[in-house]
Structure 1
Amino acid sequence: MSDSPWFVSRPTSSRAPYLAYCFPHAGGNARSFLSWQQHLEADAELVGVCAPGRGLRLDEPSPAGIAELAEGAARAVAAAADRPFLLFGHSFGAVLAFETARRLREHPLLRHLVASGCAAPRLLPSERVRQTAKLRGQEFTEAVAFFGGLPPEVLAEPELQDLLLPGLRADFHLVSGYRYQPDEPLPIGISLVNGREDPHVGPAELRHWEHESVLPLRYHWADGGHFYFGPDPAPAVDLLRSLIRADSSAPSAREEHVELI
């Protein structure tokens, strides 16, 4: 795998035939995906995507917007991808993965986009996200708690919030400034995976993804809320494995409808 600062990975013992680029949620750490590698086994090398100004790249300038961030990610992926690959993103990461896919639409090795826990881009940003991005301090923390994913100790301790939440605030600011631009649908399939109890994203928010691909959407529902994969990553990992194996056995998968689990 490339030694680019954009990527973190835990390579398999032998060279995997496929790459799965994973974009974290707002305030998330790309390294959190690396534990999924053991479940993918030798089917694919999982690669976490690290944004400038976040995580291990705190000393770098933060991007001005999602478009700039997607441009950088697309350049990094295009330079590194030497095998068929898909893009996976959760929540904020799904928007970024989508915009990255748009910029990679002509790349011959791009196979699929998996959007997790995210409304259709043309509906973003939601009013709740716009209002949350304007808040500060404890009000911001309490508003973010609606989405889930914050440990109780963070909600209770302002000191921990000051330490752990600056990246989350910055990502909410990026999302609140996102402006969808109509474009031709992607020439690859799009799979959606969402928690059934997600209070922010439901069927009404998902159906408009149908405008973003020339192929039919594939829906996959998991038990749980917005962070359905927190207790058990199986719903997300099983979906990735299914797509990867189906594509590996069907060279023309970009043109075919692949049935999921």
Structure 2
Amino acid sequence: MSPSVSVDDTGWFVSRTDADAHIPRIYCFAHAGGDSRSFLAWQDELGDEAELVAVCPPGRAHRAREPRPTLAEFAQGAAAAIAVGGSGTEHGPPVYLFGHSLGSLVAFETARRLRELPALRRLFVSGVSAPSLAPSQRVCDLAALEGREFAEALRFFEGLPPEVLAHEDLLDLLLPGVIADFRMAAGYRYRPAPPLTVGVTLIAGRDDAYLDADKLALWDRECVTSPACHWVDGGHFHFRDKGPSAVIDLLLAAVRTDQHIEVI
């Protein structure tokens, strides 16, 4: 771990050691098999306008010895930690949630659990269909596989680079975590609930084979106000294909708009 970042007291969050406690916080949830700490590399482009916070669930990274949660347990734990992390107070920093793929689904369920939190400003979801469609049959089928068969089927989701697929030792190291995350996704059970009053932004890669407009349209049912939908260049991992600038621009635009409204 870089010396410039640290784990908070709850173990849930990793962010800059010298982070300003009062600036807006963007809590980041990673895709299946991903490490949310990788999003901290975007911090330089955000400057001091917002603080990126990696959300680290039990069973991963520095929490590897803890039992892995279900998706609902992950969302509940993250929501509770966010609420007591300063943002639950009257003058706490504004809260934004950003997730990609499986992380988007967790971020959505976290937002549901934070619907009474005044500091919650916006939910950003990337690379995911509407929650009512989850889990897809493809995800369930993939979650039932093991080893090399799983790795080959994962190609559809662009989950592992070709050089990793060709390296047996790397596969042995990485696959258990990815498989566990897909089984978490396969175990998700959507439950209808009142729509979110907070704003929602959808981000989708134009070349994402897993997404289309129909799969995104059902997000309308989850929001009081129709979500803003942004198609960006790239595939499922558009921020890898074309860089994160398109996502960062959307994050900064939301933060700046909210800050302007608060000043007025």
The residue that corresponds to 2:174 in the other structure is: 164
- Residue 245 of structure 1 aligns with an amino acid whose one-letter code is R
For residue 149 of structure 2, give the secondary structure of its aligned residue in structure 1.
helix
The residue that corresponds to 1:258 in the other structure is: none
Q: CA deviation at 1:251?
A: 3.4
CA distance in 2, matches of 1:140, 1:207: 30
The residue that corresponds to 2:93 in the other structure is: 83
Q: CA deviation at 1:184?
A: 0.1
Percent of paired sites with the same residue: 51
Q: CA deviation at 1:157?
A: 2.0
Unaligned runs of 5+ in 1: 254-261
The Cα offsets for residues 204-234 of structure 1, whole Å up to 9 and x where unpaired, read as: 1101001111112101111110000014111
Q: CA deviation at 1:14?
A: 4.8
CA distance in 2, matches of 1:97, 1:213: 14
Q: Which moved more, 1:14-23 or 1:114-123?
A: 14-23
Q: Does 1:45 align with 2:55?
A: no
CA distance in 2, matches of 1:149, 1:169: 11
> TM-score, normalised to structure 1's length?
0.92
Counterpart mapping for 1:182-261 below 5 A: 182-231=192-241, 232-251=243-262
Q: Does 1:105 align with 2:115?
A: yes
The residue that corresponds to 2:191 in the other structure is: 181
- Residue 183 of structure 1 aligns with an amino acid whose one-letter code is A
> TM-score, normalised to structure 2's length?
0.91
CA distance in 2, matches of 1:234, 1:250: 24
The residue that corresponds to 2:4 in the other structure is: none
From 18, 31, 34, give the equivalent of 1:28.
Answer: 34
CA contact (8 A) 2:202 2:229 kept: yes
CA contact (8 A) 1:16 1:43 kept: no
CA contact (8 A) 1:16 1:45 kept: no
CA contact (8 A) 1:11 1:45 kept: no
CA distance in 2, matches of 1:124, 1:195: 19
Q: CA deviation at 1:149?
A: 3.8
For residue 230 of structure 1, give the secondary structure of its aligned residue in structure 2.
helix
Q: CA deviation at 1:252?
A: 10
The residue that corresponds to 1:256 in the other structure is: none
Q: CA deviation at 1:249?
A: 1.0
The residue that corresponds to 1:96 in the other structure is: 106
CA distance in 2, matches of 1:250, 1:235: 23
Q: C-alpha root-mean-square deviation of aligned residues, in Å?
A: 1.7
CA contact (8 A) 1:89 1:97 kept: yes
